[in-house]
Amino acid sequence: MKIKYSLITRRNFLNGLLGGWAAALMASFISPALKFVFPPYREPDEVILPWSEYKDMSPNSTKIFPWGSKPGIFKQNDDGTHTAFVGVCTHLDCNVTYIPDQRKFFCACHDGWYDENGIQIAGPPPTPMRKLEITIEGEDLIIRKPGVKVE
Amino acid sequence: MSLRKLMDWFDNRLGISDVLSFMTKKDIPQHKHSIWYYTGSSILLFFCIQVVTGFMLALYYRPTLEEANASVARIMTEVPMGWLVRSLHSWSASFMIIFVFVHLLSIWITKAYRPPREITWMTGVFLLVVSLAFGFTGYLLPWDDLSLSATKVGTDIPRAIPVMGAWVTKFLRGGEDVTGDTLTRFFSIHISILPVFAFLFLAFHLFLIQKHGVSYPLELEEKKERVKTLPFWPNFVYREMVVWLVLIGILCTVVIFLPPSLDTQADLMAPAPEGVKPEWYFLFLFQTLKIFPSQMLIVSGETMAILLILLGFMLFFFLPLFDTKPTEWRGKLITFSAYIVVLYAVIMSVWSLL
């Protein structure tokens, strides 16, 4: 079908073309700037710790290790097994502490509580604390993000 | 309709339409020297790039003895696009200085500083000084061997000025020697003191240009009416944008293929590395100081050299006040001396690199 009058004037078309091109150009300038301003948080895939410092812990006690820029909590359980957590509250990222007497993790920021397995039991935390995988290879205690394969 | 009302609301309070109509009525003459009109906005382009990349680098840079070099290394290796931002900041600085030189020379040679534009020229020379000071203070910030030595030499130069020189050196260094305090001081000068001066003088400079309009070349002054003109907005601005795009293209090419290096962290106790050189735009001054003999008449060669450089600078600053008879022999000599200065600077710079 041939229409009598063009729906868009030549000037509008060219202005749109020029404007769109200018917007795309600006976007190409701004995107690297945004990348620079917001660096991604790089969580470690694994940390390697000296096993000798951890193997003689008493039952129901914890030790802090650096997990990137957050604290990790290494816990010696009663039955001789170990558990490792990312030691921050799942509510708003505050560092949590383990209270051995009560067998609970506690976050002081908003009164959040987790049981000794890191399951939320009281207060605002929405999800359990993040667990990490533990492997012991000779002298090394290796703590990994679950599901990550490191060569 | 409501958008129109909103625009009117702002217009009644800010007078935007007056500015717009001023810009449309402003005419840019077209003649064989028109190309020099583009140098000013090119400087502005590079200046804007410096401001934006400077803001960005300040997010990660740490101006202390222990962390400066490592924080630049981190920007170059860890921060996403960090190498790009630093390379842009470093190269855009050089491009800006090139265009500042070209801009000033074109005004010198075409005598665009004729009355009533003398003060516009002087604010321009101030902006040159501010630009060079930006370059000088910025050069130290990566805190590597080369930048430390260059700063030691540079801050020692004022000492040769009689009476107040030693005081200037002390002020620049924040003590007797270049130390971590100098680094922090240069950072403060670079990111807080100089920007204030740059913006003030730039605003004044731009205001004066609007007030007096664009200068016509000397030979067209008489027949202004017959010169073809171009409206500033949108015709001339669109042409300027084309120039900016070409310049951004050239800038990005060198930025990507020739990123600035970073040497090992400066060691205050280590001997100076070989081949200490300032940034390229200081080379001719560096070489000038080198060729003076150690003793001249009653003063040291260095003092003599610095006094001559200061005298030259004063002549440069007050140039429009001497150049009052442009068509007579004195005016021609002043135009000719611009070429001599360029030749001198090029020869001295090349010599210093040999």
What is the pLDDT, as a whole number, of residue A50?
A: 92
pLDDT digits (tens, 9 = 90+) for B151-207: 988 898 888 888 888 889 999 998 888 888 999 999 999 999 999 999 999 999 999
ipTM: 0.73
- Quick one: pLDDT at residue B303? 86
Q: State whether A64 and A29 are in the same domain.
A: no
- Cis check: omega of the bond before A146, within 30 degrees of 0: no
Whether A39 and chain B come into contact, CB under 8 Å, resolves to: yes
Q: What is the dihedral of CA B242, B29, B47, A16, to 10 degrees?
A: -40
Proportion of chain A above pLDDT 70, given as a percent: 97
The owner of tokens 């060569």 is A151
The answer for residues whose C-beta is within 8 angstroms of residue A102's C-beta and 6 or more apart is: none
Residues A3 and A32 in one domain: yes
Chain B residues contacting A via beta carbons under 8 Å: 52, 56, 59, 78-82, 84-85
One domain for residues A56 and A105 = yes
Residue partners of B13: CB distance under 8 A and separation at least 6: none
Q: Return the structure tokens found at A82.
A: 């170990």
Which pLDDT band, with edges at 50, 70 and 90, does B353 fall under? confident
A91 in the same domain as A118: yes
One-letter identity of residue B250: I
Q: What is the pTM of this model?
A: 0.84
| Number of compact structural domains in chain A | 2
Same domain for A64 and A85? yes
Range of the domain at A50: 46-144
Same domain, A12 and A68: no
CB contact under 8 A, B80 and A40: yes
Mean pLDDT to the nearest integer, B319-339: 90
* Structure token pair of residue A142: 């290796």
In a domain, A24, yes or no: yes
Kindly state whether residue A108 falls inside one of the protein's structural domains.
yes
The answer on pLDDT for B227 being more than 70 is yes
In this structure, are A123 and A51 located in the same domain? yes
**C-alpha distance across the termini of chain A, in Å:** 65
Predicted local confidence at residue A1, as pLDDT: 62
Q: Which pLDDT band, with edges at 50, 70 and 90, does B276 fall under?
A: confident
Here the CATH number for the domain that contains residue A83 is 2.102.10.10
Does A134 share its domain with A100?
Answer: yes
Structure confidence at residue A150 (pLDDT): 61
H runs (alpha helix) in chain A: 10-37
> Which domains are present in chain B?
34-272 (1.20.810.10)
Q: Give the burial class of A72: count Cβ atoms within 10 A of its Cβ; 0-12 exposed, 13-18 middle, 19 or more buried.
A: buried
- Both A52 and A19 in a single domain? no
Q: Do B56 and A37 touch (CB under 8 A)?
A: yes
Considering the domain boundaries, does residue A151 fall inside one? Answer: no
Q: Is residue A121 part of a domain?
A: yes
Same-domain check for residues A60 and A112: yes
Same domain, A67 and A133: yes
Q: What is the pLDDT at residue B213?
A: 87
Could you tell me if A132 and A145 are in contact, meaning their C-beta atoms sit under 8 angstroms apart?
yes
For A43-81, the pLDDT digits (tens) are 888 899 999 888 888 888 999 999 888 899 999 988 888
| Closest approach of A70 to chain B, Cα-based (Å) | 19
Which pLDDT score is estimated for B59?
95
Contact between residue B124 and residue B104 where contact means Cβ atoms under 8 Å apart: yes
Do A92 and A57 fall into the same domain?
A: yes
